[in-house]
Structure 1
């Protein structure tokens, strides 16, 4: 079974997950752009039972109008993983920032969402479905 560790920028906080992600998704919404400081975000979705370890000190962040709680490194502030309070995902899934794995074996995105707010030079890998708004239900 594959084991992957996602770490923050300074290396003080990490989460370890077993198995492959259920889904890897790229998102060009402006919230993901601001959250990551990049032109898009990449999230690898896992079941909570796949998280087998956490190390380091975390802090929790949530925007006033949002239901997702972001778990960040208490030292450098990197958002490493996040889960909803209750926004339709249910309690059976969590997201891990794809870049925090720094692992070229992490599967590529299965889709790209919110392309309507993406920068014109950001493109999806060949054959990956692109959605102008959110993902299909």
Structure 2
């Protein structure tokens, strides 16, 4: 797939809201060095047993469409449980299997940082303070 024929996403294709989780495609204020095969998601609420499956399906759908750099704004996530962590581990595994791309979270809340550190997943789930830092981590 060439750069010119890479799919363009509409917010309607990505955005969804559940009782405990909202997912939005971020299309504004994106850095110039964001790869064409990248998608930036802003999620808020809780990633738990009830919302994790829908989030995983949405991200896998994006990967299947060719988006291999997944950036997730976590500043408004106030709770994540083991099923939420499993979503990110599954996404990481799928990208590794495809041998291209990566997953990075940025602007995580203190609660998310604490859970990632407690579970020792910091080496697999890359976390940075900003989207620019996340891009640098995945591309360099």
**Relative contact order, higher structure (CA 8 A, sep 6+):** 1
TM-score by length of 2: 0.29
Higher-helix-fraction structure: 2
Higher-strand-fraction structure: 1
